[in-house]
Amino acid sequence: MLRSLKGLLCHRLKLDHGCALHTAAKDCLSAAVTQDAQTPAPTPRAIFYTSENNPANHGEQHEGRHYSIPLEEVRAVFPHGLPYRFQQQIKTFNEAFLMVRKPALELFSYLKSSNFAHPAVRYVIYGERGTGKTMTLCHVIHYCTRQGWLVLHIPDAHLWVKNCRELLQSSYKKERLDQPLQASSWLKNFKTSNERFLKEIKTQRRYVWDKRESTEQGRPLGEVVEQGLARVRSASDAVGVVLKELKQQSHLGSFRLLVAVDGVNALWGRTTLKKEDKSPVSPEELTLVYNLRKMMMNDWTGGAIVTTLSQTGSLFKPSSAYLPQELLGKEGFDALDPFVPIPVPNYSHREFESCYRYYLDRKWLQHENARTEDGKEELRFLSGSNPRQLERLAGPL
């Protein structure tokens, strides 16, 4: 039995997983389910599911269980911030289930006990590849959104320092480079998730965009966002204005500010971008990176800074590196120091069991051997209880 399961895995894992995840699921969900005598008896949903859908109420009793996020809420809170494979899972199952894990609960306890009159505390989520760092950040974002916070979310900081299709000289600072496409895309999604705040927050000064256009003092911050969307050439400067206004007004108490950056280590180090003369572009020369680095400073109050370290964003670093000092380098480490480290490990025994039972309940595991105790233990061994590896192994089954 173990040989047959291993043979099936080796054959199917040659497929492109991005496609196999979605297409294989459609076939599996429509197929008839046959179980042999070795298949464990159906397990109550309580093993992998909790009906408590408010992250503010999540505690140790919910650890290892999945909770549901309404799909309309997913579209509003995460217009651009969910990992691709989790998006595919949502499409396949037509539901968004997120596991409650210890690192997120630890962060919740810190946020609940924070004194927001003090400088913003920086939290750095780190771990090996595929352990669930981005999903932990998403859980924190959902928590803060439910608590009424304004969320400034950068879901893919590494995209700002590599493979940029268009670089323009900044009209504000000639030595900087604008990225209008990345800036306008971020503004669009920021507007989706924070529209209420953009109507309430007013600009504290006048901003001149060109000889004919300006935003007057006291106007809704949403007008700055609209300026960046309507005039893509001004998008990078509009992002800078939004960040500046939020940072300056967060201490007033009218809103709590969460700065959430996935792959923060991309803000320091090297880029793959080149200038017209083929010389390399350093991160601080990019307008977006320059302004986002300012948000990483803890010289403001009224919120928190939660970041992740990503191997994807660690250009020119060893693939095995995952510790903060390895991925941030000296410059980045010094810029974020002091910070609270939040390690994200592989699944515990309880978390693995919960994920496995969820896949069984959703008919995601169709192969007869994968549904046995021996098959489960082989999945545990082959994946090393790594969330990403488990999901990839389970997809073809």
pTM of the entire structure?
Answer: 0.85
Output 83 or 296, whichever has higher pLDDT: 296
8 Å CB contact between 257 and 306: no
Spatial separation of the C-alpha atoms in residues 275 and 283, rounded to whole Å: 12
Cβ–Cβ contacts within 10 Å for residue 10, how many?
Answer: 9
The rounded percent of the chain whose pLDDT value lies above 90 is 68
Q: Which of 36-40, 134-138, 299-303 has the lowest mean pLDDT?
A: 36-40
Residue appearing with tokens 């969320």: 151
Banded model confidence at residue 8, pLDDT cuts 50, 70, 90: very low
- Which helix (H) or strand (E) element contains residue 94? none
For the residues 192-208, what does the mean pLDDT come to?
Answer: 94
User: pLDDT at position 32, please?
Assistant: 37
Given this model, what pLDDT does residue 35 score?
A: 40
3-state secondary structure of 156: coil
Determine the Cα–Cα distance for residues 110 and 100; give it in Å rounded to an integer: 16
pLDDT score at 173: 84
Q: What is the pLDDT of residue 99?
A: 96
Work out the pLDDT band at 367, boundaries 50, 70, 90: confident
CA distance 16 to 172: 44
pLDDT score recorded for residue 274: 86
Judge whether residue 152 has pLDDT over 70: yes
Question: Minimum mean pLDDT among 4-13, 107-116, 281-290: which range?
Answer: 4-13
What per-residue confidence (pLDDT) applies to 21?
38
Whole-angstrom Cα distance, residue 158 to residue 146? 27
Asked if residue 154 lies in contact with residue 189, where contact means CB atoms within 8 angstroms, the answer is no
Q: What residues does 220 pair with on adjacent strands?
A: 202
As a whole number of angstroms, the distance between CA 55 and CA 121 comes to 20
Say whether pLDDT at 26 is over 60: no
Quick: pLDDT tens for 155-199: 989 888 887 778 888 888 888 999 999 999 999 999 999 999 999
Percent of the chain with pLDDT over 70: 87
Backbone φ and ψ for 251, nearest 5 degrees, come out as -75, -10
